[in-house]
Amino acid sequence: MTAEFFQQISTHGAAVNLSSRAKLRLTGADRVRYLNGQVTNDVRRVKTTETLYACVTDVKGRMAGDVLIHAQGDMLLLDAEADLRETLGMRLERYIVADDVELTDVTEEWQLWHVWGGASTPASIGAQEHPSHLLSSTRYGVAGLDLWLPAAAEAPTLDSRALLNAEDLETWRILQKVPRWPHELNAETFPPEAGLEGKAMDFAKGCYIGQEVLSRIKTTGKMPREMIAFESDGVVNVGDELWHEKLVGKITSVAKHPASGLTIGLAMIRQGTAADGLHVGSSTGPSLGRA
């Protein structure tokens, strides 16, 4: 991403085609009660006009995926990373026992677009021309809109917004310090480690898979790791070890800052590690600064 392109995005907004993301539909009279027992946020608050962000966790409180949920008529719709299409479906199916719930993969039936900045209204993106779901969403750290369109519909109008490719979107995500599956979010991660406690978790909603462990983390404030953002004027790569006298974590995402030229990124490190004194590769390696 160039500095000029970054300025354009910051000023006029951007759009991204997320149609490859996994999309699941839940129907049946027990759909809300059932899903509320599977995710970290309160599905009873789900709306037709905005997305609800939540994590799916295992019995030990570690992540099996993250989803955005919305309601439409007599169904709930979820979207998740494309890599989770099979495993997330299997994880959710496992706990449908005597519930009046049907889970259907509808990935190929819908386009999914996200836009932010500019005049983000239904008319400005052509959302009134086709049957669609238009939802307020902050999936990339700033207020925006999700647009679900039938697969056969024409693409939305972008106006002055730039259409981001995967590499540019990844840079924007890292700039916004948004964790992503499987980089920061994976089967080793407790949601609070990635800073998702305030965004994706509701501690008053009642029981769900993994709730006991996550409530204990909330009570004690103790967890193995925490996500940090960093910047460096040296060469840093995903997977590089981070040291603070001893090994304390590793780098999970990297990009080049389009304005400063510095390497920026996200990392998972041992909770409570001092802000200063991080080094890459060894205790005497290049220093790293928190952003």
Environment class of residue 262 by beta-carbon count within 10 Å: exposed (0-12), middle (13-18) or buried (19+)?
A: middle
d(CA 62, CA 219): 17
Question: How much is the pLDDT for 255?
Answer: 97
Domain positions in the chain: 3-175, 224-291
Question: How much is the pLDDT for 118?
Answer: 65
Q: Determine the length of the chain.
A: 291
Containing H/E element for 9? helix 3-12
Question: How much is the pLDDT for 121?
Answer: 53
pLDDT tier at 92 (50, 70, 90 boundaries)? Answer: very high
- What is the CATH code for 224-291? 2.40.30.110
182 alpha-carbon distance from chain centroid: 10
pLDDT for 51-73, tens place per residue? 999 999 999 999 999 999 999 99
Question: How much is the pLDDT for 11?
Answer: 86
* Tokens matching residue 24: 């699941």
Question: How much is the pLDDT for 123?
Answer: 53
Beta strands in 108-245 (DSSP E): 110-116, 133-137, 144-150, 162-163, 225-232, 241-244
What number of other Cβ atoms are within 10 A of residue 255's Cβ?
Answer: 19
Question: How much is the pLDDT for 12?
Answer: 84
Question: How much is the pLDDT for 131?
Answer: 54
Q: Can you name the CATH fold of 3-175?
A: Gyrase A; domain 2 (3.30.1360)
